[in-house]
């Protein structure tokens, strides 16, 4: 009997320990009863404490993440407001603040959700260990499954990570005109996995975010548009250049064009020359996305003026 009690005592040494166990023993409760009371009372209490701690950490941690992101937004708003005041090509302050608020809200929500998921996964695993469930097979199985899914879905993970970084860095927004290595168009929708572009001909492009390696945003700040006009060989360059610059200034003064132009047109001179003629280049500073409209209005007036002044020998027309 004595050896049996000794073995039981040594076997129960691990669970029968701690302040609560010692307190029960000091109160005169026998060893077996003290261990049972400890298991019955402390394990549920431990689970409740784990749940409460997880709730507090997930809730206030997520709140702290959102507040941190908002502080970053406030600093970005100050820089954007200053830039908008110094560059007429930028959107007004209200548009800048609205876009920043939407982006920060999205990024903060994503980070907060990730934080909550991590905290509750840790809490659930801790509760399972407290109950006494062996997590070794679960961890081993999850490792194998995770490795398999990771190898099979690495492109998908790449798309999600790239989408998050594109969103966090504010490389483009809905309504911006983009030019990538595979497609060109206006952003209609952006998710963490894919960006939807609408081409000028109405074509819809779905571009995975992981495939966006080189990106040109045509809707930020101001742009410089070049308007080239072909004149046949033998045409006097001086009168042709003066006529082009004069008509360009008249074109941008039209009410439907004036709001798109940020500066007066400048004649740069001869851009190219060959055996058939020359290209005269005009430059003009415009708002984003208005290059085709402004260039088309200028070419229309220039073509009529050159034809009226007989500066288009042989019926040649301005190069499109």
pLDDT tens digits, 211-231: 888 888 877 777 788 888 888
Kindly state whether residue 114 falls inside one of the protein's structural domains: yes
Mark whether 213 and 265 lie in a shared domain: no
Kindly state whether residue 191 falls inside one of the protein's structural domains: yes
248: domain CATH number?
A: 3.30.70.100
- Give the residue from 159, 190, 217 where a domain finishes: 217
Query: Is the separation of the CB atoms in 277 and 207 below 8 Å?
Result: no
Mark whether 125 and 62 lie in a shared domain: yes
pLDDT tens per residue, range 149-188: 667 677 888 888 888 888 777 788 778 888 888 888 888 8
Mark whether 234 and 263 lie in a shared domain: yes
Q: Is 303's pLDDT higher than 60?
A: yes
User: From the CB of residue 181, how many other CB atoms can be counted at a distance below 10 Å?
Assistant: 12
Mark whether 227 and 304 lie in a shared domain: yes
Mark whether 205 and 254 lie in a shared domain: no
CA 89 from centroid of its chain's CA atoms: 22
Mark whether 199 and 230 lie in a shared domain: no
Contacts of 235 (CB under 8 A, 6+ apart): 277, 278, 311, 312, 313
pLDDT number for residue 55: 93
Query: Is the separation of the CB atoms in 81 and 94 below 8 Å?
Result: no
What is the residue whose two structure tokens read 């996995």? 193
User: From the CB of residue 52, how many other CB atoms can be counted at a distance below 10 Å?
Assistant: 11
Q: State how far the Cα of 179 lies from the Cα of 184, in Å rounded to an integer.
A: 4
Query: Is the separation of the CB atoms in 208 and 154 below 8 Å?
Result: no
Mark whether 95 and 50 lie in a shared domain: yes
- Give the residue from 164, 189, 217 where a domain finishes: 217
What 3-state class would DSSP assign to 8?
A: helix
- Domain boundaries, position 245: 223-315
The tokens describing 124, both together, are 């659930």
Kindly state whether residue 2 falls inside one of the protein's structural domains: no
Query: Is the separation of the CB atoms in 253 and 319 below 8 Å?
Result: no
Mark whether 311 and 228 lie in a shared domain: yes
Kindly state whether residue 33 falls inside one of the protein's structural domains: no
Q: Which of 194-198, 256-260, 272-276 has the highest mean pLDDT?
A: 194-198
Kindly state whether residue 277 falls inside one of the protein's structural domains: yes
Q: Is 7's pLDDT higher than 50?
A: no
Q: State how far the Cα of 93 lies from the Cα of 76, in Å rounded to an integer.
A: 12
Q: Is 310's pLDDT higher than 90?
A: no
Number of domains in the chain: 3
Q: Is 11's pLDDT higher than 90?
A: no
Kindly state whether residue 59 falls inside one of the protein's structural domains: yes
Gyration radius of the chain over CA positions: 35
Mark whether 234 and 201 lie in a shared domain: no
Mark whether 195 and 254 lie in a shared domain: no
What 3-state class would DSSP assign to 277?
A: strand
pLDDT number for residue 304: 87
């Amino acid at each position: 009997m004595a050896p049996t009690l000794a073995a039981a005592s040594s076997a129960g040494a691990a669970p029968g320990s701690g302040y609560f166990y010692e307190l029960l023993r000091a109160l005169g409760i026998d060893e077996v009863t003290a261990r049972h009371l400890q298991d019955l009372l402390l394990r549920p209490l431990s689970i409740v404490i784990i749940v409460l701690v997880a709730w507090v950490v997930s809730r206030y941690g997520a709140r702290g993440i959102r507040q941190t992101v908002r502080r970053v937004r406030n600093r970005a708003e100050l820089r954007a407001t200053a830039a908008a005041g110094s560059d007429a090509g930028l959107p007004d302050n209200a548009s800048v603040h609205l876009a920043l608020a939407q982006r920060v809200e999205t990024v903060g929500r994503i980070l907060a959700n990730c934080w909550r998921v991590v905290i509750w996964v840790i809490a659930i695993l801790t509760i399972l260990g407290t109950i006494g469930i062996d997590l070794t097979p679960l961890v081993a199985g999850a490792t194998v499954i995770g490795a398999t899914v990771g190898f099979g879905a690495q492109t998908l993970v790449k798309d999600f990570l790239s989408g998050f970084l594109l969103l966090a860095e504010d490389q483009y927004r809905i309504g911006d005109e983009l030019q990538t290595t595979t497609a060109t168009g206006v952003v209609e929708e952006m998710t963490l996995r894919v960006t939807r572009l609408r081409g000028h001909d109405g074509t819809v492009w779905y571009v995975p975010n992981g495939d966006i390696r080189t990106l040109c945003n045509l809707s930020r700040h101001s742009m410089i548009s070049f308007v080239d006009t072909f004149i046949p060989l033998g045409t006097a360059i001086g009168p042709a250049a003066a006529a082009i610059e004069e008509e360009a200034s008249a074109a941008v003064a039209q009410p439907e064009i004036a709001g798109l132009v940020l500066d007066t047109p400048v004649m740069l001179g001869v851009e190219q020359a060959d055996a058939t003629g020359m290209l005269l280049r005009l430059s003009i500073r415009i708002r984003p996305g208005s290059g085709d409209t402004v260039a088309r209005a200028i070419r229309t007036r220039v073509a009529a003026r050159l034809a009226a002044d007989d500066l288009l020998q042989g019926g040649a027309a301005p190069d499109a």
